[in-house]
C-alpha cells in the first residue's frame, strides 16, 4: 500500500474510521462520532489526538455542526480543512485525457482536457506530467494523483489490460511518479467512480448500493456494508457476456443479445449503420428516436428494454437500496425512460419494493473526480487495497 502523503503518518484502523467519518459526514461533534462508531469517550480521545496533531483534523466552531447532530454540552466539533491539500484526477480514454483538481472533500476546483494522440505509455505519462505541472502552478499543495483507465488494474499501480489503449502490464503509476515526483494511484475507471459516489455522492450513507454505467462499454459495481465489492472481473468488460435478450442483435463486440450488443454507444451506432448505411452519432440517433424515426426508434427501444431488464435483474439479486445509472450513454433514459420503467416492472415481483433509480448525466470530469477520490482514500487515509 502506498505511503500516506502530506506529513500525515499511516493510520491505524481505528484512526482511519474516525478520519473517514469526519471527512465524509463532518463537521461532527465528538459525541456524534462516538455514537456512529460505537466508541467510548476515552477511546475516541485516544484516536483523535494523533489526527489533530498531524493536521488531518481540526477543531472547528460549534455553529459549523448541523443542529440535528449536536448533542450534549457545547464542544468543538472535528472537521477537515478541505483546502489543506489538493489532488489531481485523470480519466484516460482512447483519444482524450480529462483532468481535474479536487479538494480533500472531492470538490472540483479546476479542469483541463488534452487530446491523446498516441497510446505509447511513456508519451502518455509525459502528457500527464505536463497536465500535472499546469495544475501545480495554480495549486502548489498538490499532494497526489489518481488515474482511472478503462480496463483492469493490478495493485493500484499497473494497467494489466486495457483494450481501449492496447496496453498490457504497463506500470503507469511508476511512469507518472518518476515524471512528477508525486505519489500515484491507478485503478479501473468504474471502480474509481464507485468509490467517489459511495463516499461523496449518490451512495453516501447507504449499506447496499449499485452503480451501472453505460457508454463505450458497460460498467457495474456493487457496494455492500458501505464498501465496494472487488472482483477478478473488474475491468474485464463483463457486459459482453451478460445476456438480456437471446434473440437480440449480434454486433462485433459482445455475444448475441448481450448488454454490450444492445446498450453500448458503439453497438447502437453499428446497428443503425448496418440497417440504413448512415453513420450517425449517438445524439443524432436519440434525437431521431424522439422525433419518431422508425429505425432509430426500433434500436433505441431495444436498448431501453435491455436496460430495464438489467436493472430488474440487479434489483432482484443484489437488492440494493439505490441504483445509480451513470455514464455518457444515459441520455437513453431521457428519450425512452417510460419503456425502461415498464420493463423494470415486468421483471419484478408485483409486490416488490420500487427500484430506487437515480440517473446521473455525467461527463468524463466525473470519472476523473473518481480517480482523485481514490487517491485521497489511498494516499491520505491509507485505505486498505480492494
Quickly tell me which residue has 466508541 as its cell.
39
Could you tell me which of 185, 163, 164 has the C-alpha nearest to residue 174? 185
**All three cell numbers of 372:** 482523485
Q: For 213, how many CA atoms within 13 A lie in the half-sphere containing its CB?
A: 26
Q: What is the pLDDT along the chain (386 residues), one digit of tens a residue?
A: 444 555 566 788 888 888 888 888 889 999 999 999 999 999 999 998 888 888 888 887 655 455 554 554 446 899 988 888 899 999 999 999 999 999 988 999 999 999 999 999 999 999 999 999 999 999 988 989 999 998 899 999 999 999 889 999 999 999 999 999 999 999 999 999 998 999 899 998 899 999 999 998 888 999 998 888 887 766 666 666 788 888 888 777 777 888 889 999 999 999 999 999 999 999 999 999 999 999 999 999 999 999 999 999 999 999 999 999 999 999 999 999 999 999 999 999 999 999 999 998 878 899 999 999 999 988 777 764 44
The per-residue pLDDT for 3 is 47
Contacts 24+ apart (CB under 8 A), 116-124: 116/92, 119/94, 119/165, 119/166, 119/167, 121/167, 121/170, 121/172, 121/175, 122/175, 124/92, 124/97, 124/165, 124/172
| CA–CA dist 45, 136 (Å, integer) | 36
Burial class (CB in 10 A: 0-12, 13-18, 19+), 283: exposed
In the chain the domains, ranked by start, together with CATH numbers, are 13-80 (1.10.10.10), 83-195+366-380 (3.30.420.40), 204-359 (3.30.420.40)
| CA–CA dist 25, 243 (Å, integer) | 39
- By three-state DSSP, how is residue 94 classified? coil
**All three cell numbers of 321:** 437500496
Backbone φ, ψ for residue 365 (5° rounding)? -70, -30
Per residue in 84-96, pLDDT (tens digit) is 889 999 999 999 9
Per residue in 307-352, pLDDT (tens digit) is 999 999 999 999 999 999 999 999 999 999 999 999 999 999 999 9
Q: For 215, how many CA atoms within 13 A lie in the half-sphere containing its CB?
A: 18
Amino acid at each position: 500500500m502506498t505511503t500516506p502523503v502530506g506529513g500525515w503518518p499511516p493510520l491505524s484502523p481505528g484512526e482511519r474510521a474516525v478520519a473517514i467519518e469526519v471527512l465524509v459526514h463532518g463537521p461532527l461533534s465528538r459525541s456524534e462520532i462516538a455514537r456512529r462508531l460505537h466508541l467510548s469517550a476515552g477511546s475516541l480521545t485516544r484516536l483523535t489526538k494523533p489526527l489533530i496533531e498531524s493536521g488531518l483534523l481540526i477543531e472547528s466552531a460549534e455553529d459549523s455542526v448541523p443542529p440535528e447532530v449536536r448533542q450534549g454540552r457545547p464542544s468543538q466539533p472535528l472537521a477537515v480543512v478541505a483546502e489543506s491539500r489538493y489532488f489531481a484526477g485523470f480519466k484516460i480514454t482512447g483519444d482524450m485525457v480529462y483532468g481535474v483538481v479536487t479538494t480533500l472533500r472531492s470538490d472540483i476546483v479546476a479542469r483541463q482536457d488534452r487530446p491523446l494522440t498516441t497510446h505509447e505509455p511513456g508519451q502518455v505519462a509525459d502528457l500527464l506530467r505536463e497536465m500535472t505541472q499546469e495544475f501545480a502552478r495554480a495549486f502548489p499543495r498538490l499532494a497526489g494523483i489518481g488515474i482511472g483507465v478503462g480496463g483492469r488494474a493490478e495493485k493500484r499501480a499497473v494497467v494489466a489490460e486495457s483494450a481501449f489503449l492496447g496496453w498490457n502490464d504497463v506500470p503507469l503509476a511508476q511512469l507518472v511518479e518518476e515524471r512528477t515526483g508525486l505519489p500515484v494511484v491507478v485503478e479501473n475507471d468504474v471502480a474509481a467512480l464507485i468509490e467517489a459516489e459511495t463516499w461523496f455522492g449518490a451512495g453516501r450513507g447507504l449499506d447496499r448500493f449499485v452503480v451501472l454505467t453505460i457508454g463505450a462499454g458497460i460498467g457495474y459495481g456493487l457496494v455492500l456494508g458501505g464498501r465496494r465489492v472487488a472482483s477478478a472481473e473488474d475491468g474485464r468488460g463483463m457486459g459482453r457476456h451478460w445476456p438480456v435478450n437471446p434473440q437480440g442483435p449480434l454486433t462485433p463486440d459482445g455475444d448475441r443479445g448481450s448488454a454490450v450488443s444492445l446498450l453500448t454507444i458503439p453497438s447502437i451506432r453499428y446497428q443503425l449503420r448496418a440497417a440504413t448505411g448512415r453513420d450517425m452519432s449517438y445524439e443524432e440517433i436519440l434525437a431521431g428516436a424522439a422525433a419518431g424515426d422508425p429505425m432509430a426508434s426500433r434500436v433505441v427501444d431495444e436498448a431501453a428494454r435491455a436496460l430495464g431488464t438489467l436493472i430488474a435483474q440487479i434489483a432482484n439479486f443484489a437488492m440494493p437500496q439505490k441504483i445509480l445509472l451513470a455514464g455518457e450513454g444515459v441520455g437513453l433514459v431521457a428519450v425512452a425512460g417510460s419503456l425502461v420503467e415498464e420493463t423494470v416492472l415486468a421483471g419484478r415481483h408485483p409486490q416488490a419494493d420500487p427500484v430506487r433509480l437515480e440517473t446521473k448525466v455525467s461527463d468524463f470530469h466525473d470519472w476523473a473526480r473518481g480517480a482523485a477520490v481514490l487517491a485521497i482514500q489511498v494516499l491520505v487515509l491509507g485505505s486498505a487495497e480492494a
